[in-house]
Amino acid sequence: MRRWKISGIQKKYLSNTVALLVLALLLSSVGVWIYVRNNMANVVVDKYEFMTEKMGISLDSLYKKSEEITAKCIIDENVQKSLQTREMATVEKNALSKYFAYIDLDHVLEYCYVDNKENVYTKSYSDLSYEDFKESGLDELLSDHYAKTEWLFRKDSLFGSGEKALFIGRNVHSMEYLHPPGMLFFKMDEKFLQSIVEEKKEIENIAVGIIDDRGEFCMQHMPENFSISSQDRKKISKLSENSDAGMISVRERLQGGILQAYRQKESGFIIFTLVPNEVLSQGFTQIFYVLLGIYLVVILIAVGISLYVSKIFTRPIQTISEEMERFDGKDFSHTVHIQTNTELDKIGNSYNEMLGNIQILLEEIKKQEKELRTSELHMLINQIKPHFLYNTLDTIYMLARINGEETTMKMIQALSSYLRLSLSKGSDIVTIADELENVRSYMEIQQIRNQNLFSYEIDCQVEERERWILKLILQPLVENAVKYGFADLYTGGIIKIEVKEISGKLTLFVYNNGTPMDQSMADKINALAEVPVVELKHIFPDKKQGYGVVNIVTRLRLKYGDSVRFVYEVRQEGTTCMIQLPGNGKENDEL
C-alpha cells in the first residue's frame, strides 16, 4: 500500500486556504470588535450620563439648601438687630455667636459673621479680629448682588489652616432700615461636596470630580490605578468657560476616556464624570476569547476539509509527476492513465501526446544532424572559393597593368583590399587600422565611380594598430553619406573621419557636408538607444531608409551592451554621426 504524503500543491493550497480564512476571520473580528465595543460603550455611557445628570441635580439641591440656610440666618431677629445703629449688649453678642453653630447645614467647620459695625462673631474658641477678616480678603470676593449665596473655593487665610476649602458667603442686609450690610461666611468640610457621591457604587470604576467657576478642582474621586492626565485636566478646567447650565458636555472623547459634565447655574460649579477606556471595553475580553475559540474550531474544520478535497485532486497530479520523474528520455512506453472526469484528464492526455511528440522530434534531430554533417562538408569545399576570387582579381590586375589601364588597376586593387578586410578571416573584431583601410578602399572605389564628387580626410589620433573595434561600422555610414548626402551635389563633397579618445572612451566621428539629414529621421535614429535590441529590426520594416544604421546599432549593442552611444547631429552645413564605445579599445575580446 502506497504511503500517502502531502504534496507541494496541497501545501500551497492549504497555505492559501488558511491565509484567506485567517484574513476573512480577521476582518470579521474587526467588524465584530467595532460593533460590540461601540454598543457596549453606548450602554456604559448612557448609564453614566444619567448618573452625571442625577449628581448634577444633587449639586443643585445642595446649593439651594445652602441658599435657604443663609436666607434663614439673615431673617434671624438677632442678626437683623446686629445691623442696627445701636450696639448690641455682650450677652446678645454671645448668643448670636452661638446661633450660627446650630444652623441646619451639615459639614460646617468654621463660621464667621461680620456686622456693619466691624464686630466679628465666630466660634467661642476662635479669636478673630476685624483686621484678621480684612486681611483674609474674603470681603472682596463677594459680589454686589443683594441676595445671592456664593460658593468660593479659596485658600483658607482666615482661620489659619492654609489649605484650600469651600466657603459659602453672602451679604447680610437689613430688612427694615437702609444700613450697610454685614457679611456671613461658612467654611465647609470636604465631606460637604463629597456627600453628592457618597454611597454610590456606580462610581467605583470611574473618575468623578467638581471644579469651581475658575476651573479649579475642588473634589476628586479616582478609581484604583487611574489618574487624569494633564492634557485631560486642562480640557476639564476649560469647562468653566461655559456659561450654560445643566449638561454642558455629553460623550466628549478625551485621552483617558469619555467626559460628561453638569454645571450648577448659580454657583458656577461643575460636576463631571470621566469613564476610563478600560471601563468602556470591560467585558469585551470574554467575548474576544469566545470568538477566538470559535475561529480556531472553524480553522481546524476548514483545514480538515481542505486536506480531504485536495487529496482527491492532487492524487492524479502526483501520478503524472511520478511518471515524469521516472522518464529517462529513452523509453516512451510509460504513459499515464487517469480518469477523473475533470481537466486533469486533459493533462494526462497531453502528457501522453508530449511523449509521442518528443519521440518524433528526436528522430527528426537525428536526421538533421546527419544533414548538418553533409552541410559542413560542403562548407569546407566552398572555403576554396574566396581564394579563387582573390587569384582571379590578381590575374585581372596583371592584365590591366600590362595594358596600362591605371584606373582599372586602382579600382581592382581597392576592391581586392576591401574584400580581404571585409572577410577578416571570419573575425568580428579588427584593428582600427584595418577598419580605416577598409573604409578608405571603399571611398576610393566610389571616387572612381563618381569622379570629382567628393574628397575625404581621415584623422586618427589613437594607436590604430593597438586599438580594436567591431568591423564594418564606418563603411555603411560613408555609403549613406554618398547615397543620400551627396544626392544633390555634382562636385565639392567632403567626408571627414575622426578617431580619438574622449574621457577614456574610443570615439569615432563621420562628417559629410552634403544635404543635412531630415531632423525627424535623426531623432528616430537617436531614439534607437531606448528600443530593446530584439525590436530594432521592426523600426524600419521597409528595409530602405535606416536599415543599414539599424544593422550597425544592433551589432554595436550586441557586442558592447546598452552603454554604447550612436548619435546623429544635424547641422546647417551637413551631418555628423558620432559613435562612442565603452572602454578605450585596447583589448581584443576575441583574442
The pLDDT tens digits of the residues spanning 380-436 come to 444 444 544 555 565 666 666 676 677 777 677 667 666 666 555 556 788 999 999
437: which 3 cell numbers?
A: 583601410
Angle at 581 between CA 576 and CA 586, to 5 degrees: 125
What pLDDT is stored for residue 225 in this prediction?
86
What pLDDT is stored for residue 393 in this prediction?
61
Q: Mean pLDDT across the stretch 61-86? A: 92
**What residue spans of 487-574 are helical by DSSP H?**
519-526, 547-560
Q: Residue 477, Cβ neighbours under 10 Å: how many? A: 23
Percentages of the chain per state (helix, strand, coil), in multiples of 5: 50, 20, 30
Cβ(459)–Cβ(499) below 8 Å: yes
- Banded pLDDT at 36 (limits 50, 70, 90): low
Count of residues in the chain = 591
Q: Which residues contact 25 (CB under 8 A, 6 or more apart)?
A: 295, 298, 299
489: which 3 cell numbers?
A: 551635389
pLDDT above 90 covers a percentage of the chain that reads 35
Cβ(157)–Cβ(132) below 8 Å: no
162: which 3 cell numbers?
A: 492654609
Beta strands across the sheet bearing 565-571? 454-460, 493-502, 505-512, 574-581, 565-571
Q: Which of 23-37, 182-196, 430-444, 497-511 has the lowest mean pLDDT?
A: 23-37
What pLDDT is stored for residue 535 in this prediction?
81
Q: Is the pLDDT of residue 589 over 60?
A: no
Tens digit of each residue's pLDDT (9 = 90 or more) over 127-175: 888 998 998 888 888 877 777 899 999 999 888 888 999 999 999 998 8
Which residue, chain included where needed, has cell 475533470? Answer: 342
Cβ(203)–Cβ(194) below 8 Å: no
Q: Mean pLDDT across the stretch 556-572? A: 90
C-alpha dihedral (390, 391, 395, 398), degrees to nearest 10: 70
215 vs 234: CA distance, rounded Å: 9
Q: Is the pLDDT of residue 448 over 90?
A: no
Q: Is the pLDDT of residue 330 over 90?
A: no
Q: Which residues contact 150 (CB under 8 A, 6 or more apart)?
A: 141, 142, 143, 168, 169, 170, 267
Q: How much is the pTM?
A: 0.48
Beta strands across the sheet bearing 164-172? 120-121, 108-114, 182-188, 164-172, 150-155
Identify the CA nearest to 511 among candidates 492, 490, 491, 497: 497
What pLDDT is stored for residue 591 in this prediction?
38
414 vs 399: CA distance, rounded Å: 16
Q: Which of 94-98, 129-133, 542-546 has the lowest mean pLDDT?
A: 542-546
Q: DSSP for 374-437?
A: HHHHHHHHHTHHHHHHHHHHHHHHHHHHHTT-HHHHHHHHHHHHHHHHHHGGG-SEEEHHHHHH
Quick one: residue 520, left, alpha or beta (phi over 0 = left, psi -120 to 50 = alpha)?
A: alpha
Q: Is the pLDDT of residue 53 over 80?
A: yes
Amino acid identity of residue 574, one-letter, is G
